[in-house]
Amino acid sequence: MKAMIILNPSSGKEKAADYAEKIEETLRDRYDKIDILRTEKEGDAAAFATEACISLYDTVIAMGGDGTINEAINGLAEQNHRPALGIIPLGTVNDFARALNIPLDPYEAIDILKEQNLRSVDIGKINDHYFANVIALGSIAEASYNVSPELKTRFGSLAYFMEGAKSFLKGEAIDLVVEHEGGKWEGHTFLLLAALTNSVGGFESLAPEAKLNDGTLHTFIIKKVSVPKIASLVPSLIKGELEESEDVEYIRTSYLNITSDKAHVVNIDGEEGEPLPFKAKVLPGHLDIFVPF
């Protein structure tokens, strides 16, 4: 049995090395070979995870924030051999870990590895990339790129909400054509959000109907409305009641084809992605992930 630990040294407030040692200690009785690989630049985690597939590792443990986890998933996705994935959340928001009920305390998350309890979960594919949690379009999604590391450290997931709220109240809409398995939607929107899980931006009830392996992109399109109406949607967003609003189009679909007459950039798992158009689909039960009993 072989395990690879992918460690982002910049995460975890300089305790990442201690966590890696704890993982090694936890896995020692079960695995004959344990390798620790440290990322130095963007793309390293994906490359390491792909190498784990090629070299037939049994398990990959990804330690870091949502960006590191997203990279690891991109390295594992659609490989002929896919190791089981363990997640040790060390980031600001940790959406995927929240959705999986993985404790946000790293030591508690490490304890889950002892249980060896696996669950098959969906991931998404958007053009040639993969995502675990959410894709988003609109000025609100683009506003998240303006959140500085200092704000993330100080306010956590609230920093994204604060920056997004500024854009929300400016009332900036974009034109989209959205094709899905139930038909087509065309119009102006402030925000399109397509979620695989119930946790988005640290808000765990935004997409309450989303399950980890239901094969569905839970898609919310917030239509162009007046600024006061936008403000009135905020409580619904926080309480997970967006789908009940007449100003929100709620679509359950296994795929999305989205175009626009402008080069808007899609937000993928909280990171800046690529410009439109794009095609997205669900890969059902694609990865086995360690979760609590």
SS3 of residue 68 by DSSP: helix
Q: Is 204 a catalytic residue?
A: no
Cα dihedral 85/275/224/204 (nearest 10)? 10
Which ranges in the chain belong to alpha helices (H)?
Answer: 16-27, 44-54, 66-76, 95-99, 106-115, 139-143, 149-155, 158-170, 227-239
Q: Which of 256, 257, 273 is nearest to 265 (CA)?
A: 273
- Rounded to 10°, the helix 66-76/44-54 angle is 30
Residue from 21, 271, 272, 274 carrying the catalytic annotation: 271
Q: Which residues contact 149 (CB under 8 A, 6 or more apart)?
A: none
Whole-angstrom Cα distance, residue 291 to residue 293?
A: 7
Residue type at 146?
N
**Rounded to 5 degrees, what are φ and ψ at 262?**
-125, 160
Which residues share a beta bridge with 293?
none
Cα dihedral 96/99/103/105 (nearest 10)? 40
Q: Which of 140, 144, 135, 134 is nearest to 173 (CA)?
A: 140
- Enzyme catalytic residues: 271
